[in-house]
């Protein structure tokens, strides 16, 4: 006698199906090893793996369940399973796929690559239908680095986003999410907006170009660019805010994370005089950024305090983690530039958001969607949970 049996019930969903099947099982010497259920467009699929604890008339059990489901216009399938098969469902990786649209060709390429690596898809979960389609595959039997590399090519060919991460309990605990600001939380680069107001756009652009060519490091380029702002009235910082636009989804992301009990921080190579008011608008109280020196109401062209550069961003992430007593295994960092790489690598999950190719190739996962709140889907937070959090806060 095989100890394990898999029961699959399918058909038009009606209340009481799961209750009825499990009530029948109560009369027999079995235990439930696994149970999963999904309802898609009012069609139900209920799967149970049961273990026979002692001999009994299995045909009688099968007949009882068959009569019950048939009376509801549903179907029953039964197959035996070995102990090895029944324990195979331990999930090791989560593959989150985001597409707008998500085509059958893309899904075929993803599932085909998973199969080519000898891996198994244990579960598929719909996370969101808009503003993008987001699907989560629970996968076992493959190394994370191997699958991530293979699926990165699939993502590029199909113009979709794919994140591969370990499925651990840390993902379900309170997390710290640290966001870069320029070209991530907001659409603009604040230094460029300031340069426009000060009339030194060309000079700032030239320094930025030299930095991108590797002639200057971030600290040198920042110092030289800030020097060009000397004499600018501090009141111009208010004008900067009028020219800044949040990235679509920024408010939803910060609002949802706060309502669900997560910690959010902004870490920027920009200026606290601009970043802090932006953070206040989003209800974010944790900010780490550079500070402009002001004398007699004018910018001096100098900074005060330590420069928040590439290493400084990573350190800020770790400092915020300590502040909130959040282990590094529960940290997420989001950024777009090379200046963010140390922070992305230090976090348990580093997300390159609309990033430069150099950054995309070195981050844990990449998002090319224009919506910042798609980060929630990579975290496993569904659209339904976002809307529930909004409703709960308004009641």
pLDDT digits (tens, 9 = 90+) for 45-77: 999 999 998 989 999 999 999 999 999 999 999
> How many domains does the structure of the chain reveal?
3
- In sequence order, what are the beta bridge partners of 99? 133
User: What is the domain range of residue 50?
Assistant: 4-86
Categorize the per-residue pLDDT at 38 as very low, low, confident or very high, splitting at 50, 70 and 90. Answer: confident
HSE, side-chain direction, 13 A CA sphere, residue 349: 28
For residue 211, being part of any structural domain is answered with: no
Radius of gyration of the chain (CA): 26
State the average pLDDT over residues 149-153: 90
d(CA 34, CA 48): 6
> Contact, 9 vs 21, CB < 8 A?
yes
| Whole-number pLDDT of residue 130 | 85
Each residue of 323-345: pLDDT tens digit? 999 999 999 999 999 899 999 99
> Contact, 128 vs 77, CB < 8 A?
no
With both helix axes pointing from N to C terminus, report the angle between 58-71 and 17-25 in degrees, rounded to the nearest 10. 160
Each residue of 341-391: pLDDT tens digit? 999 999 999 999 999 888 888 888 899 999 999 999 999 899 988 988 888
| Whole-number pLDDT of residue 214 | 76
- Check pLDDT > 50 for residue 87: no
- CATH number for position 262: 3.40.50.1000
| Whole-number pLDDT of residue 173 | 72
Each residue of 278-310: pLDDT tens digit? 999 999 999 999 999 999 999 999 999 999 999
Categorize the per-residue pLDDT at 171 as very low, low, confident or very high, splitting at 50, 70 and 90. Answer: low
182 included as an active-site residue: yes
Q: Tell me which H or E stretch contains 322.
A: helix 310-323
Asked whether residue 162 falls in the same domain as residue 182, the answer is no
Each residue of 40-51: pLDDT tens digit? 888 989 999 999
- Strands 43-52 and 120-128 come out as unpaired
Of 179-188, 207-216, 320-329, 368-377, the range with the lowest mean pLDDT is 207-216
Asked whether residue 107 falls in the same domain as residue 23, the answer is no
HSE, side-chain direction, 13 A CA sphere, residue 55: 1
Share above pLDDT 70 across residues of the chain, in percent, rounded to a whole number: 95
180 included as an active-site residue: yes
d(CA 128, CA 249): 14
| Whole-number pLDDT of residue 131 | 87
Q: Which of 161, 180, 309, 336 is catalytic?
A: 180
| 186 Cβ contact partners less than 8 Å away, ≥ 6 residues apart | 244, 245, 246, 247, 250, 278
Asked whether residue 71 falls in the same domain as residue 107, the answer is no
| Whole-number pLDDT of residue 91 | 47
d(CA 149, CA 164): 9
| Whole-number pLDDT of residue 394 | 65
Q: Which of 13, 161, 182, 309 is catalytic?
A: 182
- DSSP letter assigned to residue 117: T
| Whole-number pLDDT of residue 40 | 81
What average pLDDT is seen over the chain?
91
Asked whether residue 70 falls in the same domain as residue 106, the answer is no
Asked whether residue 252 falls in the same domain as residue 363, the answer is yes
Asked whether residue 384 falls in the same domain as residue 252, the answer is yes
> Contact, 277 vs 238, CB < 8 A?
no
d(CA 101, CA 132): 7
Phi, psi of 41 (to 5 degrees): 50, 50
State the average pLDDT over residues 98-102: 93
- Strands 30-40 and 331-335 come out as unpaired
Is the preceding omega at residue 131 within 30 degrees of 0, hence cis? yes
For residue 232, being part of any structural domain is answered with: no
- Check pLDDT > 50 for residue 318: yes
| 312 Cβ contact partners less than 8 Å away, ≥ 6 residues apart | 269, 288, 306
| Whole-number pLDDT of residue 95 | 94
Categorize the per-residue pLDDT at 31 as very low, low, confident or very high, splitting at 50, 70 and 90. Answer: very high
């Amino acid at each position: 006698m095989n100890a394990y049996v898999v029961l699959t019930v399918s058909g038009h969903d009606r209340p009481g199906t799961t209750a009825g099947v499990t009530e029948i099982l109560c009369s027999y010497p079995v235990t439930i090893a696994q149970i999963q259920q999904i309802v898609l467009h009012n069609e139900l699929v209920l799967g149970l793996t049961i273990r026979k604890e002692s001999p009994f008339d299995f045909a009688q059990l099968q007949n009882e369940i068959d009569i019950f489901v048939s009376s509801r216009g549903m179907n029953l399938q039964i197959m035996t399973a070995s102990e090895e098969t029944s324990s195979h469902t331990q999930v090791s990786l989560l593959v989150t796929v985001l597409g707008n649209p998500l085509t059958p060709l893309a899904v075929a390429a993803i599932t085909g690559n998973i199969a080519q690596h000898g891996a198994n898809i244990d579960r598929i979960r719909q996370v969101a239908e808009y503003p993008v389609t987001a699907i989560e595959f629970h996968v076992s039997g493959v190394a994370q680095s191997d699958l991530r590399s293979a699926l990165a090519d699939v993502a590029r060919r199909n113009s979709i986003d794919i994140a591969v991460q370990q499925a651990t309990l840390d993902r379900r605990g309170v997390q710290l999410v640290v966001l870069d600001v320029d070209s991530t939380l907001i659409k603009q680069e604040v230094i460029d907006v300031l340069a426009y107001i000060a009339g030194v756009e060309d000079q700032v652009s030239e320094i930025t170009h030299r930095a991108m060519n590797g002639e200057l490091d971030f600290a040198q380029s920042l110092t030289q660019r800030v020097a060009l702002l000397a004499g600018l009235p501090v009141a111009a910082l208010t004008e900067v805010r009028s020219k800044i636009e949040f990235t679509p989804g920024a408010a939803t992301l910060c609002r949802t994370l706060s309502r669900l009990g997560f910690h959010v921080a902004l870490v920027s190579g920009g200026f606290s005089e601009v970043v802090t008011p932006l953070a206040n608008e989003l209800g974010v109280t944790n900010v780490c950024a550079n500070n402009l020196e002001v004398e007699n109401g004018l910018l001096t062209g100098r900074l005060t305090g330590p420069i928040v550069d590439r290493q400084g961003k990573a350190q800020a992430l770790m400092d915020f983690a300590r502040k909130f007593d959040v282990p590094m295994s529960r940290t997420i960092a989001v950024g777009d530039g090379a200046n963010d790489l140390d922070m992305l690598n230090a976090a348990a999950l580093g997300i390159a958001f609309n990033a430069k190719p150099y950054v995309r190739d070195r981050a844990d996962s990449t998002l090319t969607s224009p919506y910042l709140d798609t980060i929630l889907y990579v975290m496993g937070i569904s659209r339904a949970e976002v809307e529930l959090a909004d409703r709960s806060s308004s009641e």
